[in-house]
Structure 1
């Protein structure tokens, strides 16, 4: 499974506006084109950040799905309103699943939050195991064949979603970013 971890910086005070639009218009419309919206989140430590995960069976499905979605009627109608909430939408990791995320039924579970830890380096590395990761990913080094949506390049990343904060120690030369995430009402991935 190929996964995009997308972190958007939004205009102050506009996160809930984007979440309402996203959950209403962009979940099923993407899934109808072969993509899977794995999770949408509020970053609890950054009030103007929206984080989400989008999955694809492979890179060919990714390219075709993105072409169809961003060239299609739903994005044409609602994309300008979504873009109006954003300052930056280019903080994106292209990943492959090591432990695929479980899916909860949408609209049935409210609340909960989870932790996401991102380890980053300019070279390949390993880290200790997490206790019961909900999902785990590492950098997918395939060429981004949909350049209209940039992804971070030249980095090696390991990303894990857990119910408790990660305690693994970062190896020398590895940077760590941590997020506390609250799932939106329509998120399939939950804590």
Structure 2
């Protein structure tokens, strides 16, 4: 599966407005267009950050789904209100699953931690095998998808090599220097409103 990890920086105090609008108007129409809304989260450390995951079986379905949703009546009606909550919506990593993301990663109401490692070259089998030996109990593992973003109206971060580990705990792993990890980002994620069990 192809997965977008989307981090939106919102206008101060507007996160709950976007979450309510998203829950009410955007989940079902995206899923009817062949996309999977895998999870929606508040960033615990950045009060004006909304993080969500959207999945696609492949890049062709992604293109069709994005065209249908963003060219359709729901986005025409409610998109301006969503955009009004945002300062930046372009912080997006395009990823491919190594360990699949659960269909609703936020469904049981548990917090997640996402650890994102970056380096100056793709993450290879050697790194993946080393990571698998760490016994992390990962909920999901992903790395950069290198296909061209064929829906440029929604930019993604390009020229970066990322490896993303989702876990239900706040453990850290010391990556050996031989792997050349240049930067690490950690997101402490709380499931948003409708993500709780129901």
Fold equivalence (TM over 0.5): yes
Contact persistence 2:19–2:193 (CA under 8 A): no
SS in 2 for 1:142: coil
Q: How much does 1:104 deviate?
A: 4.6
Of 121, 124, 129, the residue aligned with 2:122 is 124
Query: RMSD over aligned Cα, in angstroms?
Result: 1.9
Contact persistence 2:27–2:37 (CA under 8 A): yes
Which residue in the other structure is 1:58 paired with? 58
Aligned mates of 1:104, 1:139 — CA distance in 2:
21
Q: Which digits, 9 at most, give the CA deviation of each residue in 1:67-110, with x for residues without a partner? A: 0000000000100000000000000000001111123598x74x
Unaligned runs of 5+ in 2: none
Aligned mates of 1:145, 1:122 — CA distance in 2:
24
Aligned mates of 1:112, 1:164 — CA distance in 2:
9
Aligned mates of 2:27, 2:164 — CA distance in 1:
23
Contact persistence 1:38–1:187 (CA under 8 A): no
SS in 1 for 2:19: helix
Which residue in the other structure is 1:175 paired with? 183
SS in 1 for 2:18: helix
SS in 2 for 1:21: helix
> Which residues of 2 match residues 1-191 of structure 1 at below 5 A?
1-104=1-104, 109=108, 111-125=109-123, 126=127, 128-129=131-132, 131-170=136-175, 171=177, 172-187=180-195
Give structure 1 regions of 4+ aligned residues with deviation exceeding 6 angstroms: none
TM normalised by structure 1 equals 0.92
Q: Which protein has the bigger helix share?
A: 2
SS in 1 for 2:23: helix
SS in 1 for 2:194: coil
